[in-house]
Chains A and B, each alone.
Chain A
Amino acid sequence: MKQDIILAGVGGQGILSIATVLGEAALSGGLHIKQAEVHGMSQRGGDVQSNLRLSSEPIASDLIPSGQVDMIMSLEPMEALRYVQELSKDGWIVTSSVPFVNINNYPEKEEVYRHLQAMPHTVMLDVEQLAKEAGAPAQAANMVLLGAAVPMLGFSYDSVKDAVAKVFARKGEEIVAKNIAALEAGFRHSSNR
């Protein structure tokens, strides 16, 4: 098993929580992990990404070679496109459809969608709307995204659910339940496609 993932978004959107949950699931599953994060200046409202590598074999590099990424998981549609040259030919893009516009030259939304749909394997979903429908707060939108990615990741839904419960345990039962509801909403969306 090998999954090389780019987690993408804008500083503050919560991509690192996705990494923490997947890291937990991988660790419980006895997999090897490497995850390179971005800290410091670029976090201030700029584009952020994290290279997450999971494998049953030992992993050499902290960075994923270009063209070898199995999945781009993005909390922002244009940010997903920022890394297409990293994606492998049969790789997946799982992305939020909600643009985060904090720059004045953001491209036309429809154009961004068209580019995303032109890629071989794209799942696009309104993670904020789905979180809301599941009774979860907007901060749980990242778990909707993760849920939507689960069918393509090679993890069982239950193993990811357990990891969510473990990671959010210290924040209390209610937060755990809402994050699991968000995860499930994303998972259903993706499974029913």
Chain B
Amino acid sequence: MKLLLLGDEAIALAAIHSGISGVYAYPGTPSTEITEYIQNRQKADPESARIFCRWCTNEKTAMEAALGMSYMGKRAMVCMKHVGMNVAADAFVNSAMTGANGGLVVVAADDPSMHSSQNEQDSRFYGKFAMIPVFEPSSQQEAYDMVRDAFDFSEKNRIPVLLRITTRMAHSRAEVETRSDILAQKSLSYPENPRQWVLLPANSKVRNEQLIKDQEAFEEGALNDHRNRFIPGEDKSLAIVTCGIAYNYLMENFPGGAPCGVLKISRYPVPRKLVKTMEAEGINRVIVMEEGQPMVEELIKGMISSDIQVDGRLTGVLPRTGELTPDSVRAAVRLVPHETFPKDDIVVPRPPALCQGCGHRDMYAALNEVAAEYENSRVFSDIGCYTLGALPPFRAIHTCVDMGASITMAKGAADAGQFPSFAVIGDSTFTHSGITGLLDCVNSNANVVIIISDNLTTGMTGGQDSAGTGKLESICAGVGVDPAHIRVVVPLAKNMEEIKNTIREEVEYNGVSVVIPRRECIQTFKRHSREKKK
């Protein structure tokens, strides 16, 4: 059947068709729609074989739960944005040591150009680092087809597989031809090699040798994958290496085929034999086109003669940062740029902003007033809609680093002598990675005011369920915060005096305070009201 699907949706549907029993994920742009697609399919067809698809607390819990499902012989998928890989890294890297039993595919959605992220890290390095094979589709159709192959490969070779995509693949729609052979879920079966799952040094040493030996089979798999291929061209002096969707940008500029050889890479480890085939053409220059960091550009230098010039992001033939575009690729192959109208200079930027009626607005309005009463207030914030509090009109926050860093940085700053030291964190980010930091605060009685701005959802990614809804006060009390200093307020303009007084009192308390402004996200509120009307 031919369907119009986002890259994310193609991956989701392929996973369902590959017989997964669970998808484990924490929302993160541009990966969120994978899990949502499976959830919506499950909702629309509750009679279908049950796939576990509830959101996880963070990417590490997701990765570990999926590993547990794989241990049971069932197929599982884990989805996250690139920075989620940092959170899941401990489990991900060690999953190469345990290996997989049921097929295990980890999807990492990278965000070059940082459309909705704080850095441009390239998840392929995680694959190489963990010695796990990486698949990288060049089209939505390849993404769909590849997921089945990735599960099969994972199961056959008893190894998790990393599927790396970038924003344009995740969030672009194209027609996808789906398969008719839909696989049923696997039945339970324990691993045949139980010792390998107990990573004691004695076991790990044995396993490590095997993992290194297996690299050959992984490379062989990449060599025999028809999506990796060398396409010879007329001009034998130059070859172009394209990774993932870079191939499309090249073909956009050469609709009739490239004038030189093209080495198309959609799977790693990069097969040396294919690189040698390219080299044997007699080339004296290679241009490497890849989304993200210059990984293959650096790698390939060690595979071919040093007489061959290797160009790419490192040599400035392509921009060092940002996603590739048809235009940047066009410039790299020295085609004349398309004629364009000049940019219109009356157009002004229209930055994103907190929604009208959003509770974070009232929270910041109150916090700004109280913070201004002290000579040197500092507000350590976090990842979410409320990060927009950095922009006018609020300009309320001083830091935003990674999930959970608000609480721990506020603590470190307080340890160093900062007063008052505020943390601003959302409810979902708090349960994702804030609870352990709060325990650190309690254990050293840090003088901090932690504002958990609770909108009862994971807002920035579109309103997914939040793991801590209804549990925040008891979590804080359980961690050891004095219940007298866990204060709940309703962020509305009419309560402004009460909110300000609450914050003031907690600043003056020498110890750990938690203030929870709680009001539903205006977007989910509108959605819920519409649903009620129906």
Contact = CB atoms under 8 A, between A and B. Distances in A.
Interface of A: 10-11, 19, 23-24, 27, 32-47, 51, 59-68, 78-79, 81-82, 84-89, 102-103, 105-107, 111-112, 115, 119
B174 A102 contact: no
Interface stretch (B12-20, B145-153, B332-340, B495-503): B332-340
A19 B173 CA distance: 10
B341 to A, nearest CB: 5
B115 A42 contact: yes
B157 interface: no
Contacts of A39: 29-30, 32-33, 116, 171, 462
Interface stretch (B270-278, B292-300, B351-359): B351-359
Contacts of B330: 65
The 4 closest A-B pairs by CB, nearest first: A40-B116, A40-B29, A67-B338, A46-B352
B172 interface: yes
B350 interface: yes
A66 B340 contact: yes
Contacts of A115: 344, 346
Given A39-B462, A79-B350, 6 more contacts: A24-B4, A41-B460, A47-B349, A61-B326, A65-B326, A107-B346
A166 to B, nearest CB: 12
Interface string B163-182: 00000110111110000000
B251 interface: yes
5 contacts: A39-B30, A65-B326, A78-B346, A82-B347, A84-B342
Contacts of A103: 348-351
Contacts of B344: 81-82, 84-85, 115
Interface string B310-334: 0000000000000001110010000
Interface of B: 2, 4, 6, 29-30, 32-33, 115-116, 168-169, 171-175, 245, 248-249, 251-253, 255, 325-327, 330, 337-344, 346-355, 385, 388, 460-462
B461 to A, nearest CB: 7
A106 B349 CA distance: 9
Contacts of A44: 352-355, 385, 388
Contact of B341 (A27, A32, A84): A84
B170 to A, nearest CB: 8
Nearest to B387: A41
A88 B339 CA distance: 8
Contact of A68 (B29, B172, B338): B338
Given A45-B353, A66-B327, A66-B338, A84 B173 contact: no
A112 to B, nearest CB: 7
Contact of A42 (B116, B339, B347): B116
Given A27-B175, A39-B116, A85 B348 contact: no
Contacts of A84: 341-344
A85 B33 CA distance: 31
Contacts of A40: 29-30, 115-116, 460-461
A10 B175 CA distance: 27
B352 A60 contact: no
Given A27-B175, A60-B255, A107-B346, A38 B326 contact: no
